Structure 1
Amino acid sequence: MKITGLRTLTTLQDWGRPVGDVNGFISGGVTDVPLVVLETDEGLEGIGIGSHADVARVFPAIEGQDPRATFALYDRMLAWVFKSGHGGATFGGIGALDMALWDLKAKIAGEPLWRTLGALDRFVPGYASALEIAIPDDELEGLYAGWIDRGFTSVKVKGGLDLSSDLRRLARIREIFRANTPHPGVMLDANESWNRKQAIRYISALEEHIDLAWVEEPLRRWDAEGLAMISRSVRAGVATGENLTGLEQYKPLLDAGAVDIVQAGSMWGITHFLRVATVAHSRDLPVSPVGSAASPVWHAAAAVPNHLALELQDLGAPLGVRLDHELVDGGVLLGLEPGNGVQLDEASIADGLLEQGWAQPAGPHVRPARAGLRLVPDGPPGEGSTRPGLRPGRPPVAPDHG
């Protein structure tokens, strides 16, 4: 079998609520979901979710190749962009193609991807992560009802701008999850919004009232010395890694003892996750995939010995996407269909209308100018915001934001 073609599609995820973090939020709750499809000379197709960045430029590295050579083709894609580098957005395109290759490998074998990857148990534990920073306090119980019904016992909360508000919301959300366990796992995600001492003061103040399992991305992703300082200064673990685009970027953090929970972005692909998990395992550290309401990387999480919990951001599926899994007992029960369990209804996708995109100029993927430079953490409320210091997303205003 040989890879003969590539096509890209974009569908949408309707969250039914505002979604975002300390950096901003999408008020309409509709985001785009890029898909890639690899075609073969025998009619089988492989599906990847995550990014279209540079896929056309990278595709020649795998065109005409046997898709079962997943590891070799992954390295071939990295080598293909050797001069310009594989970091940043390009890494997302490589990750989407990598997912599609693994999907084909499992389909050729006639088995679900988790089995191809060597997993024994198809259940993968997870935690709730609703990107809920713009949701009013009195709507939190209704927001999390679906996760409670499905047995989830841990939850990650977005925050970092308003200590009083974060304390109140963390306590309230902890009470909601006590419906399933006396001692819920509670995490806070600051999305790189603090400086070093500010982070230590803020987390220490929180820990006077809330036992945090981890604090995620308290500092910039590359600040190994600062992250290590925080890890030594607070009780909570430091979780980071979702925005690192390449295995080599983890080395300074691991060498400095700067990360307690090693994360990997789901959109960066299966091979990347497997390699990150192996490196983390060599240092007796747990690994956790971040992002996505539906990710083929979950199959890889089932196969590694040091997986902690996956992030489940939504209970639904993107438009025109059918997923072969169940959300039960606080995690994901992966299905038995061959491949990664993702099937597309391309007619439905073609009929879909993208109302708003995730990477808007005012959305959570754009770092505010004063992030990490606020003497008083909470700023003035953004227009239309229900939380201090937040900015709602707005339609794109310049063609270079996409």
Structure 2
Amino acid sequence: MTVHDWGRPIGDVNGFVAGGVTEVPILLVHTDGGLTGVGVGPHSDIERIFPAVVGEDPRAVTALYDRMLAHVFKTGHAGATFGTVGALDMALWDLKAKMADEPLWRTLGARDRFVPGYASGLDIALSDDELVALHQRYADRGFSSGKVKGGLDPATDIRRLKAVQNVLRQNSARPALMLDANESWHRKQAVQYVTEVESEVPLTWIEEPVRRWDAHGNRAVTAAVKASLATGENLVGLEQYRPLLDAGAVDIVQTGMVWGITHFLRVSALALAHDLPVSPVGYNCNPVAHAAAAVPNHLTTEVQDLETPFGLRVDQTISDGGIVLGDEPGLGITVDVDALATIRTTAGWRIAEGPHVRPERAGLRMVAEQ
């Protein structure tokens, strides 16, 4: 386990971590050949999942992914179990590329090491001035698109989106702007809210306006607004995407970094079959960027911070509006185990006020709240 010091409060409409320091779980998988694979993400179910891969050849990673899912098929693979599968899968892909002595993006068949990205600061707790200063850092690295966390008050979100728009005009006359509501609205509220925002600000997409599994609700929203609808980062398995895709309820198919490389590749293939672009969440070393470089329908990767977690060195550069992947074998993540042993900072993802706890009145608000 390590920590990430964001240098600012982070969160969304559901809450925020005021101290700006969060846990970053690290999984190290050792082979009898002396290599170590790195997985980034929660893995609390490791004792239950690891027997599915122990003694296996990591080069068979896609088969091992299915073996892990089969290992828990009676009780299901959602939640923490899927997170553990994703962390192990990531470590196995890291090993596979290291065994080939090449960066993972090469192993996966990518032609170009550059991965387009967009700025995303988890910024709901920032003042307007702090929001501008944050996005100026992104603009100075070539970003021309950015996402704002909102969902409580349209006037506030309009003002903040315009502020980000002005900063990003440094690189584009018409920056791409996104608004993330993190499942905080009901259907009609979502349509009314987005319509009001769009009357003053052009939105590229609205993200998670209603609950992640609500195919009919998401379909109603995307049919009623101009912006594309992005969702999917919290879905765990292809079976959870099918109702959304069958209903035409999603325009930008998202995936979560913590679910692993194989999950991203399969979701991308499913989206491609529906002629839809895919966009992964990116944070904590942006490991899924290697896979994003290799799929034909990758649109953009979320870049949540410009720094890396404590004790980790990552062979990548954030520049030119995206992620430039390096040439070190595997994911290019080096872990300083001795440094991690010195951590004394209290991190904050697990606090009750944080964004991972859904508020009691989420989706049930009658009026905007500031």
Preserved contact between residue 54 and residue 93 of structure 1 (Cα < 8 Å): yes
Pick aligned residue for 1:99 from 90, 99, 102? 90
Preserved contact between residue 267 and residue 291 of structure 1 (Cα < 8 Å): no
Preserved contact between residue 40 and residue 284 of structure 2 (Cα < 8 Å): no
Aligned to 1:119: 110
d(CA) in 1 for partners of 2:329 and 2:103?
4
Higher mean alpha-carbon deviation, 162-171 vs 263-272, is at 162-171
Pick aligned residue for 1:267 from 258, 264, 274? 258
Q: 1:359 Cα shift?
A: 2.7
Q: 1:89 Cα shift?
A: 1.4
Query: Within 5 Å, which residues of 2 pair with 1:125-144?
Result: 125-144=116-135
Residue deviations 1:75-119, cap 9 Å, x none? Answer: 000011111110111100100000000000000000000000000
1:338 counterpart = 2:329: yes
Q: 1:350 Cα shift?
A: 1.0
Aligned to 2:306: 315
Secondary structure of the structure 2 residue equivalent to 1:332: strand
Preserved contact between residue 293 and residue 315 of structure 1 (Cα < 8 Å): no
Q: 1:360 Cα shift?
A: 1.6
Q: 1:141 Cα shift?
A: 2.3
Read off the aligned partner of 2:189 and give its amino acid letter.
Q
Aligned to 1:396: none
Preserved contact between residue 11 and residue 354 of structure 1 (Cα < 8 Å): no
Q: 1:205 Cα shift?
A: 0.4
Aligned to 1:235: 226
1:45 counterpart = 2:32: no
Query: Within 5 Å, which residues of 2 pair with 1:2-401?
Result: 10-378=1-369, 388=370
Q: 1:291 Cα shift?
A: 3.6
Identity %: 61
d(CA) in 1 for partners of 2:345 and 2:268?
35
Structure 1: tracts of 5 or more residues without a match: 1-9, 379-387, 389-402
Q: 1:56 Cα shift?
A: 1.6
Preserved contact between residue 121 and residue 302 of structure 1 (Cα < 8 Å): yes
Structure 2: tracts of 5 or more residues without a match: none
d(CA) in 2 for partners of 1:156 and 1:353?
32
Read off the aligned partner of 2:368 and give its amino acid letter.
P
Read off the aligned partner of 1:153 and give its amino acid letter.
S
Size of the aligned set, in residue pairs, is 370
d(CA) in 2 for partners of 1:73 and 1:262?
25
Q: Structure 2 length as normaliser, TM-score?
A: 0.99
Q: Structure 1 length as normaliser, TM-score?
A: 0.91
d(CA) in 2 for partners of 1:216 and 1:84?
30
Secondary structure of the structure 2 residue equivalent to 1:199: helix
Secondary structure of the structure 2 residue equivalent to 1:363: coil
Find runs of 4+ consecutive structure 1 residues off by over 3 angstroms: none
Q: 1:138 Cα shift?
A: 1.8
Secondary structure of the structure 1 residue equivalent to 2:82: helix
Secondary structure of the structure 2 residue equivalent to 1:218: coil
Secondary structure of the structure 2 residue equivalent to 1:276: helix
Secondary structure of the structure 1 residue equivalent to 2:25: strand
CA RMSD of aligned residues (A): 0.8
Query: Residues 70 and 119 of structure 1: is their aligned pair in 2 closer, same or farther, counting only changes over 3 Å?
Result: same
Q: 1:180 Cα shift?
A: 1.2
d(CA) in 2 for partners of 1:221 and 1:138?
32
Read off the aligned partner of 2:169 and give its amino acid letter.
R
